[in-house]
Each structure stands twice: as C-alpha cells, then as structure tokens.
C-alpha cells in the first residue's frame, strides 16, 4: 500500500509540474480579456506613453530613450517603416526593454492608404524570417500595431473589418500569439467601425487577442464624444487605447483643426483604466511641430505640451506604472 501511495504521489506531482509548465508556456505575451490588456504575468497593464519617430530620426530617437524613461513613461510606440533594416529595430526593442518600457511597433507606410493590398503587405513584413526571429525573441514584451492610420475618411466599416481579418489571420498562422493592435480608420479617428465591428474582429481572431487604437485630433473636438464613445466601448468590453492625441493649439487654428481637450482625454482614460500614447516626443515637420513634446534642437528640453503631459498633476510621471513583467 505504501508503495502504491508513493507512486500515486509521484504521478500527482508530475502532472502538477507538467500542467504548470504548460501554463507558463501558454503565456507568450500580452493578452486582452474583456476591456483589459494583461501582460505576460496576467496583470493589468495601462499604458501611459509616447510616440517616438525612429523611422525619420533613428539615432536621435535611440539616444532619447534614456530621457524618455526618466519620466516614468511605461510604453513607447515605435514609429517604423517596412524598408528599414530589422536589425535596427532589434536594438531599439532591446533598449526599451532594458529601460522597462513596453515597445509597440507600428508601420507608418500605409498612413491614409485605403487599399487592402497595401495593408496586407505590411502584415507580411512582420512574418519575414528576420522579423519573426525578432518578434519571437521579444514576444513577452512586444506589441504589434500593424499599420498606422490605415484607411481614409471614405473607407467603409466593412472593408476595414475584412481587410484586418485577413492580416490577423496571417499573423496567427505564422505563430504570433500576443496582442495585435489595430488602428481605427478615418486616419485613426473614426471610432464607429470599432464600435460596430470590434467584437466581430475579436471573435474571428484565433487568439481572441486584439486591442484597438483611436487617434484624437480635429474629429474629437466635441467633449461629449470623447466621454460617450470611450465609455460605450468600455462597457462593450472592447479593449481600446487612445494611440495618438493632440490639444487645443492656437484655439484650433492649426493644420489638423484640432482643439481637442487633452485633459479630458487623460482623465477619461484614467477613470476607465484605458491606456494612452501622446503624439509625439519630437521631430515633427514644420506644420506639425506644435505637437513636439521636447525641442527638436536638443531632444530633451520640454515644450508646453511636454510639461502638460509629463509633469502636470495628472501627468504621466506621477501616475504611470511599469508593466509587472519588469518587477
């Protein structure tokens, strides 16, 4: 009897170990559950971060990561393009992770484009052999944002949905299991297709693991819209972030007709446990440089916009929390 009990105890212990290992193996990276984004430890992660223009200013952006991390920023959206050498991206991802900031990679090639062919080309970039090796290496920490602002103001919600279904299917077929980030159409600003078909896209995904990103500029000047749309999506359990946003520069007399209430965006996101990423650290062209958080001349002196986002009472430095995978 004692011998049988020992065998039973051994087998029970073995099953527990194998089950635990299997569970750990299943946790590849980020996962969305309801309206929450969970990190690889299964803990909620609310990103409070910034967009950084690596595609146009690689060396300055790379050097600036240390300054960015000093403001308690917990996520960096890496502006990238498909013609760039993946080895450069590898270095950026490694440094972000070393500085305890979650890297989100986005491809900027199809901004404003509305052809499914172009979008699919960008999805294919992520499954090239060199890129697959990089993603596998950092899958515990990385988020993939397939394309920045794909889809103009005239694209239909159904076309947006179906084009992304094809891209998500490709990435899953190639073995990528972590969270995929999808920008809203209408240059990132049209939330209606996300409200209509966000859950449909999640249901069609083999991993049921998507995060939607809405950008807020001139189309979001109505404060009620910010409150109502974000609250509705939250109640629908569709996981959403504000992936870019601006502010009321020059009383709305700017190239984006933007007089959005940035404080309301931040407060609404905080109330809902929703992530946000400000546009942008610096390096914008002349007509958009009002959105620079630091001076382009030195990549570190804060502008008014940077002070508001980072050092205000409601700012990132005071409220951001690093992902638990770094603790």
First-last CA distance in the chain? 46
Per-residue pLDDT tens digits for 173-182: 999 999 999 9
The confidence band for 27, taking pLDDT boundaries of 50, 70 and 90, is low
Whole-Å CA distances, 49 to 71, 98, 163, 185, 273:
10, 16, 28, 22, 14
Query: How many structural domains are present in the chain?
Result: 1
73, 49 Cβ separation under 8 angstroms: yes
* pLDDT for 7 beyond 60: no
Q: Residue 287 is part of which domain span?
A: 2-326
* Number of other CB atoms surrounding residue 105 within 10 Å: 25
Query: Which SS3 state, helix, strand or coil, does residue 48 take?
Result: strand
Instruction: Please report, rounded to a whole number, the percentage of residues in the chain having pLDDT higher than 70.
Output: 92
Residue 187 — φ and ψ, nearest 5°? Answer: 55, 35
38-94 pLDDT per residue, tens: 999 999 999 999 999 999 999 999 999 999 999 999 999 999 999 999 999 999 999
Q: At what angle do helices 192-204 and 223-235 cross, to 10 degrees?
A: 20
pLDDT at 113 over 60: yes
Which percentage of the chain shows pLDDT scores above 90? 91
pLDDT in tens, 222-281: 999 999 999 999 999 999 999 999 999 999 999 999 999 999 999 999 999 999 999 999
- What tokens appear for 15 in the block? 């099953």
> Does the CA dihedral 156-158-160-162 come out positive or negative?
negative
Q: In this structure, are residues 186 and 151 in contact, taking their beta carbons and an 8 Å threshold?
A: yes
pLDDT, position 327: 87
* Domain CATH number, residue 32: 3.20.20.80
Task: Using alpha carbons, list the distances in angstroms from residue 74 to 23, 48, 98, 216.
Answer: 26, 6, 12, 20
The mean per-residue pLDDT over the stretch 136-152 comes to 97
Query: Could you give the CA distance from residue 182 to residue 196 in angstroms, rounded to a whole number?
Result: 14
- Encoded tokens for 4: 């049988």
Cα–Cα–Cα angle for 173, 81, 60, rounded to 5 degrees: 130
- The phi, psi pair for 104, rounded to 5°, reads -115, 120
Total-model pTM: 0.92
User: Residue 126 — φ and ψ, nearest 5°?
Assistant: -70, -15
Quickly list H helices, 27-149. Answer: 58-69, 86-98, 116-125, 129-138
């Amino acid at each position: 009897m004692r011998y049988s009990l020992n065998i039973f105890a051994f087998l029970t212990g073995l099953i527990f170990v194998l089950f635990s290992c299997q569970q750990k193996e299943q946790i590849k990276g980020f996962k969305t559950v309801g309206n929450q984004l969970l990190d690889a430890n299964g803990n909620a992660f609310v990103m409070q971060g910034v967009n950084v223009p690596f595609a146009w200013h690689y060396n300055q952006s790379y050097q600036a990561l240390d300054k960015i991390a000093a403001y308690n920023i917990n996520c960096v959206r890496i502006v990238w393009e498909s013609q760039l050498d993946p080895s450069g991206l590898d270095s950026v991802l490694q440094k972000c992770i070393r500085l305890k900031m979650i890297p989100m990679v986005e491809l900027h090639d199809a901004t404003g484009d509305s052809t499914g062919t172009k979008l699919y080309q960008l999805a294919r970039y992520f499954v090239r052999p060199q890129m697959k090796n990089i993603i596998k290496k950092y899958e515990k920490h990385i988020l993939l944002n397939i394309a920045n602002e794909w889809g103009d103001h005239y694209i239909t919600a159904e076309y947006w949905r179906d084009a992304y279904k094809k891209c998500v299917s490709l990435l899953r077929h190639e073995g990528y299991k972590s969270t995929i980030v999808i920008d809203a159409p209408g240059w990132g600003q049209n939330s209606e297709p996300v409200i209509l078909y966000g859950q449909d896209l999640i249901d069609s995904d083999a991993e049921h693991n998507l995060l939607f990103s809405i950008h807020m500029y001139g189309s979001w000047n109505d404060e009620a819209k910010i409150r109502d749309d974000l609250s509705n999506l939250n109640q629908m359990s569709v996981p959403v972030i504000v992936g870019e946003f601006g502010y009321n520069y020059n009383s709305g007399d700017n190239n984006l007709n933007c007089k959005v209430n940035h404080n309301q965006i931040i407060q609404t996101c905080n109330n809902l446990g929703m992530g946000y990423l400000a546009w942008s650290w610096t390096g914008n062209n002349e007509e958009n440089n009002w959105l620079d958080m630091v001076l382009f001349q030195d990549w570190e002196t804060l502008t008014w916009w940077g002070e508001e986002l980072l050092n205000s009472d409601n700012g990132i430095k005071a409220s951001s929390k690093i992902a638990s995978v770094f603790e």
